[in-house]
Chain A
Amino acid sequence: MTVSIHKKLQNEKIEFTLLLEAIYHKYGYDFRHYSVAHIRRRIQRRLTLDGIESISALQHRLLNDETFFFQTVFHDLSINVTEMFRDPSFYLAVRQKVVPILATYPFIKVWHAGCATGEEIYSMAILLKEEGLFDRLQLYGTDFNDLVLEKAKEGIVSIRSVKEYTSNYQLGGGTQSFSDYYTARYSHALLEPELKEKILFANHNLVADQVFGEMQMIVCRNVLIYFDQELQNRVIDLFYHSLCRGGILCLGAKESLRLSEQENKFNRLLPGEQIYQKGYGTD
């Protein structure tokens, strides 16, 4: 009996839902509130790469092979793409509009949530160093994927990316030469070790974990776009309660509080950039 392609697609959608349930029940990681189109694409890619015949077969395998889950599928499903000084206009805006606010605090704590391999947190370290805030600064980089955190701790980027990063850095208002911040070694560029001293990397899961200290600034860019509205609301609520009064929330260029329940508890700091300030009168 041949099954029509539409029936097959319907079945795949059921298998897909069951797969995410299986991952949650077996490993405790909850991808059920992620963008379905995105996750489905990642899973489809894994099936093709490993020659696995169906989503059910993949489910069977990852229930019985924990190494396969942690080293492969978990990595497929986490968001690992990042670059230094991505969206230079954002960094320029931080220099011009956010730094004067941060400068009013005696000690500045900045949390990069979902930092992946750390390119953006190193960018922020460079920026805040150039703006003279380095001595009273602590940066926290968190992700739920230990593999990318290990890579972030190394502070190494591909030499092929350096040209683009240099251009981004300049467009973002860099005041020095970008080459001051790395040492080229074969195919890699080792970022200036001094930057690392101000960064603490830790495992934190935005979907499952709680408030993360009282921050002056939270940066979470291009993570929320992968979440559905319900999960976005929960995470923005978590950010709200992890910020001091007047604290700053920075989102990705295509993310906003537009549809969020918390929208009226923040003020947009400037048009054109997704930079928000928590009200002073609330807690």
Chain B
Amino acid sequence: MGQTETDSGNGKATGKYEAVVIGVSYGGLKALENILPIISSDFPAPIMVVQHQDPLADDFLAKHLNRLSQVQVKVAEEKEKAVAGVVYLAPANYHLLVEDNHTLSLSIDEKVNFARPAIDVLFESGADAWQARLIGVILTGANHDGSQGLQRIKKLGGLAIVQDPQTAQAQAMPESALAATEVDYVLQLGEIGYFLNDIIGTGTFNDQ
């Protein structure tokens, strides 16, 4: 927050990115294994992740990724504040949302795009909360979830990143996101972790 200066006169703001949201479906385990372990231990922003999974799945995924990573990876708990350097996974069978004060909420509302958790639900609420200070990343998947959410992030001035469909285990989700939004970066799976480390420390945005 302290790094951001807002000029209330004309609504312009400049500053650094403050949060990352990632959406991933089919092929997600491998994709996340190629990104999260690369995130540096002093990463100055929280990362929220929706991975589509079986409603009865336990916290294996979080434990597994936590073992591989320098940053802490955990299942999101309701009402906890999203803090820098921590990766929050949406729990199985719950939507994950972000409040304006950057605390996390869970809901059991109807599935969205046949999914709970749904990527759109996280991305849209995250966009409202962080606006231009948010980075959205769409990875491999065999459906269209996340396209609308990424559009919302972009519309509010945030940064849109999509995994190069050629490097995705399932191409439908990244292709759908590319069709829906003018994305800023199309990256190979192996580049994404390094790119996030880089831009979160140095990148700046400018609001219209």
Contact = CB atoms under 8 A, between A and B. Distances in A.
A164 to B, nearest CB: 9
A38 B109 contact: yes
B99 A6 contact: no
Q: Do most interface residues of chain A lie in helix, strand or loop, or is the interface mixed?
A: helix
A37 interface: yes
B195 to A, nearest CB: 26
A259 B80 CA distance: 10
A7 B131 CA distance: 11
Nearest to B75: A254
A37 B157 contact: no
A38 B97 contact: yes
Contacts of B121: 41
B149 to A, nearest CB: 12
Nearest to B11: A4
Contacts, number: 71
Interface in A67-92: 79, 81, 88
B97 A81 contact: no
A152 B109 CA distance: 18
Interface in A199-235: 222, 225-226, 229
Contacts of B109: 38, 41, 81
A5 interface: yes
Contacts of A81: 108-110
A37 B79 contact: no
Nearest to A171: B56
B99 A36 contact: yes
Contact of B107 (A9, A35, A36, A88): A35
A40 interface: yes
Given A36-B99, A229-B79, A254-B78, A6 B156 contact: yes
A255 interface: yes
* Ranked 4 nearest A-B pairs via Cβ: A37-B97, A37-B125, A35-B105, A4-B11
Interface of B: 11, 13, 56, 77-79, 91, 94, 97-100, 105-110, 121, 124-125, 128-129, 131-132, 155-157, 207-208
